[in-house]
Amino acid sequence: MGNSLTVRAKSPAGFPLEITLTGENLVKQFEKLESWMTGHGYTPPEPSPAPAPAQTPAPAPGVVDTFIVESIEYGGKTMNGKSDFWRVKGGSFRKHGLSLYDDMVAMWGLDLGYDTPADKFRGAVATYSKTAEGKPRLMGIKVKP
């Protein structure tokens, strides 16, 4: 496959135009084309607006968002000592994780114990929302089939 150069312009009537030059001496071909186009009223196209930078703002209170689970680590017993809890880590919760309690594990049908490997649920999708105080709260975990 040879070299090619695509030139975009606007016709004197305002129509967009795209010409692809191929072969050898593309610079000379372009210079000839540019000279001809300029002499016949062709102009450069309008510049395309720059795309907006991708941003993922934190969800507002009550808004649901998701992240990919990297690990679920056993955290121990709750303060009252009556149930176990785990830390669901991933996304912006990579360091501390979101709390997952026994009742949630049972309700969501997760096969999870204190000796479960941390990466067993890697790739699952965790859903969370923010409380009115702005604190994230785990809403569910969808495990890949």
Can you give the pLDDT at residue 84?
87
Range of the domain at 18: 4-39
- Would you say residue 62 has pLDDT above 70? no
Can you give the pLDDT at residue 13?
86
- With helix as H, strand as E and coil as C, how does the chain read? CCCEEEEEEECCCCCEEEEEEECCCHHHHHHHHHHHHHHCCCECCCCCCCCCCCCCCCCCECCEEEEECCEEEEEEECCCCCCEEEEEECHHHCCCCEEEEHHHHHHHCCCCCCCCCCCCCCCCEEEEEECCCCCEEEEEEECCC
Can you give the pLDDT at residue 81?
81
How large is the average pLDDT for residues 122-129? Answer: 89
Can you give the pLDDT at residue 65?
87
Same-domain check for residues 26 and 73: no
* Tokens linked to 107: 């309700």
Does residue 108 belong to any structural domain of this protein?
yes
- Domains identified in the chain, total number: 2
Does residue 92 belong to any structural domain of this protein?
yes
Does residue 9 belong to any structural domain of this protein?
yes
Q: Considering the chain, what is the average pLDDT of its residues?
A: 83
- Would you say residue 42 has pLDDT above 80? yes
